[in-house]
């Protein structure tokens, strides 16, 4: 029995590894908290793609935008990428008030939404949205002269 369980575990591990590797290889994380942590460490905006397997526009976005070399280059320089399966993560869909698909959120390193795209954008439209993003770290207000004098 123990040998059977060990064999079953080994087979399941071998089957699961390519699925896990493909998410990591293409640069997409599947956890917002990990994305925010990496965004903070790298000083990058976190792009969260809320998608669903049944969503035709989501597939079109992945095929025509996210898979392009130009998007990958720009994203690699400016973004941490997170993909969320909306059907498996209803609590996140509710938390971020996602009402249509695809929905793309851009979060600063503190997790605050700085932009949102709902629906499909072609490559140039998507790159334009990325170019408008603010710095990844929320800027702290500068101390006023009065506050400085009190110190």
pLDDT at 29: 97
pLDDT cut 90: percent of the chain above it: 68
Within 8 A by CB and 6+ apart from 119, the residues are 57, 100, 102
pLDDT at 3: 61
Alpha helices in 26-111 (DSSP H): 32-42, 56-61, 69-78, 90-95
CB 118 within 8 A of CB 51: no
Q: Which has more pLDDT, 7 or 57?
A: 57
pLDDT at 135: 76
Q: Which has more pLDDT, 16 or 81?
A: 81
pLDDT above 60: residue 44: yes
pLDDT above 70: residue 89: yes
Closest CA relative to residue 102, chosen from 116, 119, 86, 90: 119
pLDDT above 50: residue 10: no
pLDDT at 2: 55
**Which are the catalytic amino acids?**
55, 58
The two tokens of residue 66 are 């996210």
Domains contained in the chain, CATH given: 26-118 (3.40.30.10)
Residue 119: helix, strand or coil by DSSP?
Answer: coil
pLDDT at 137: 60
With b for 16 or more beta-carbon neighbours within 10 A and e for fewer, the 95-119 pattern comes to: ebebeebbbbbbbbbeeeebbebee
């Amino acid at each position: 029995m123990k040998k059977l369980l060990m064999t079953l575990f080994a087979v399941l591990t071998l089957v699961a590894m390519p699925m896990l590797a493909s998410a990591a290889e293409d640069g997409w994380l599947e956890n917002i908290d990990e994305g925010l942590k990496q965004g903070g460490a790298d000083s990058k905006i976190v792009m969260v793609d809320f998608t669903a397997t049944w969503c035709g526009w989501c597939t079109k976005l992945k095929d025509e935008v996210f898979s392009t070399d130009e998007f990958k280059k720009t994203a690699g320089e400016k973004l941490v990428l997170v993909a969320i399966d909306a059907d498996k993560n209803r609590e996140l869909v509710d938390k971020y008030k996602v009402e249509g698909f695809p929905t793309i959120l851009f979060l600063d390193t503190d997790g605050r939404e700085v932009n949102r795209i709902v629906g499909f954008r072609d490559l140039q439209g998507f790159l334009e949205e990325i170019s408008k993003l603010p710095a990844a770290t929320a800027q702290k207000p500068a101390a006023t002269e009065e506050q400085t004098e009190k110190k």
